[in-house]
Every structure is written in C-alpha cells, then in structure tokens.
C-alpha cells in the first residue's frame, strides 16, 4: 500500500517512501513512468542524508535531488581543500538514486552569511540525470536572493512530452454553478429531519441521507471538463502541424 498526498495535475507528495521531516519526495505522473523529485535539508548532524544512504535500496530512481546539504568539499567548492568520507558518501548515494551533481553554469558561493566576518561557501547542491547541455545546468539567480542568506538556484529539467487526457467533474471557483451548489446544500441540509439522533441507527440514516443529498447536488451543478496538453480539448498534433505551416 503506497501512501501519499495527491495534488492537482498528476502530482503526488509521497509520505511513505522516506519518513523524515527534512525530506520531501514529489512525483509527477503521466502515461509513462512517474518522475520523482526530492528536496533535502541536511542539518549539521546530516540526519536526512544518512537516512537516505541507509534506505537507498528501497527508493526509486530520481530525476532531481536538491537542497541545502551542509557538506563542504573541494568537488563543488574550490576554497575547500578536502573531500571527506561524508561528501563521498553523498555522491555515492546520489549516484545510486540515478543522479549526479550538476555544476552551476555561474558557479559561486551559494551561502552568504549576514555576518560579514564569515566567509561564504557552497552547501546548496543540485543533482540531476546526466545533463546534455548548458540549458539543463543550474544557474544562481542573485537578483532573486531577497533577505535570505542562500542564493536562489534555478534549473530546467528535460521531461519527455506526454499526451494527457483526463476527464473529471469540477465546480469552477466563484462561478454561478458554485453559488447554486452552496445555496442548494444549505437549503436541503436544513430540510433534513435531525430531531431524533438518539441512536446509532438514526445517526447512520442521517449521515447516509446527507451523503446522498450532497452527491445529488454535486451531480446537478458540477461541470465535466477534459484536461489535455492543450488549452482546447479538441486540439491535436495535426492542429499544431497545420498552425506551423500557416
């Protein structure tokens, strides 16, 4: 049984793949295999990364792993004169998970302390599947730093095109349908006979009646929509080709 928190647009936050408050696993779903991404915060005891190393054989392959790792190494920071066992273990764990460290195209310190007496360092890292061009390498965005003492890192991940076609029912937010739905829910729930809820059987009957009422009102007002790769559900690859020739 896989436990996760579903999000919109084919996203899922996994809660059972790795159980740690400083590790977040996100999966993107299409008609192909899920694409797994991981965000990590490694404290000064490296608890999160040590857990990853321990559980590596139970984890899937990732297309991206990134975060504040708090590891110092000459591999990613030229001001460091060592490459300790802990940093070596981090690279090995990343490799086992299908990714490798990606050097930013404008590599520089990623951590700049508010204390001017402290030197900057490189502790924020991004790991990806072997990049095939500079377009897929991280970039430090100094203009978006804001009040943080960490430099924002930006990365484009190459993801294969997938044809998406999902049909579902929705109530558009702040629409006439939503207003009518909420109005009917309030009115019909008020009409339910709730005077006698003294026994479990009557409570069960009332709960069932409320569920049936809610379902009927939803079916009455909800709209059926189809989510696709394009803004119009009827758009096809042939439409794109015809538009390109126009």
Contact (Cβ atoms closer than 8 angstroms) between residue 37 and residue 58:
no
Q: CA-to-CA distance for 63 and 44, rounded, in angstroms?
A: 26
The tokens describing 21, both together, are 């408050």
Set out the domains of the chain in order of their start, with CATH numbers: 4-154 (3.60.10.10), 165-240 (no CATH)
CA distances from 105 to 18, 109, 153 (A): 31, 13, 11
Q: What is the DSSP letter of 192?
A: S
Does the structure show a pLDDT above 60 at 1?
no
Cα torsion for 199, 202, 204, 207, to the nearest 10°?
-130
Q: CA-to-CA distance for 37 and 61, rounded, in angstroms?
A: 9
CA distances from 6 to 24, 94, 132, 154, 160 (A): 14, 26, 32, 25, 22
Q: Using one digit for the tens of pLDDT, what is the confidence trace for 163-209?
A: 667 788 888 888 999 999 999 998 988 888 877 888 888 889 888 98
Please give the pLDDT value at position 4.
45
The tokens describing 128, both together, are 């990806």
Least confident of 116-125, 152-161, 205-214: 152-161
Which comes out higher in pLDDT, residue 225 or 57? 57
């Amino acid at each position: 049984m896989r436990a996760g928190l579903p999000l919109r647009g084919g996203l899922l936050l996994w809660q059972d793949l790795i159980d740690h408050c400083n590790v977040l696993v996100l999966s993107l779903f299409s008609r192909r295999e899920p694409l797994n991404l991981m965000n990590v915060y490694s404290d000064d005891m490296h608890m999160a990364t040590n857990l990853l190393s321990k559980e590596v054989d139970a984890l899937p392959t990732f297309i991206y792993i990134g975060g504040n790792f708090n590891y110092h190494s000459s591999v990613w920071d030229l001001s460091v004169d060592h490459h300790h066992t802990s940093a070596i273990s981090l690279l090995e764990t990343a490799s086992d998970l299908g990714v490798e460290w990606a050097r930013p195209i404008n590599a520089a310190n990623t951590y700049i302390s508010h204390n001017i007496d402290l030197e900057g360092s490189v502790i924020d890292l991004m790991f990806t599947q072997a990049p095939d061009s500079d377009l897929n390498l991280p970039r430090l965005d100094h203009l978006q730093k804001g009040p943080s003492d960490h430099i924002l890192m930006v990365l484009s991940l190459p993801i294969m095109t997938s044809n998406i076609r999902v049909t579902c029912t929705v109530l558009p937010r702040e629409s006439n349908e939503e207003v009518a739905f909420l109005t009917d829910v309030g009115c019909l729930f008020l009409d339910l006979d709730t005077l006698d809820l003294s026994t479990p059987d009557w409570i069960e009957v009332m709960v069932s009646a409320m569920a049936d009422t809610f379902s009927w009102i939803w079916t009455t007002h909800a709209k059926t929509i189809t989510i696709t790769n394009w803004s119009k559900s009827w758009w096809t690859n042939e439409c794109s080709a015809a538009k390109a020739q126009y």
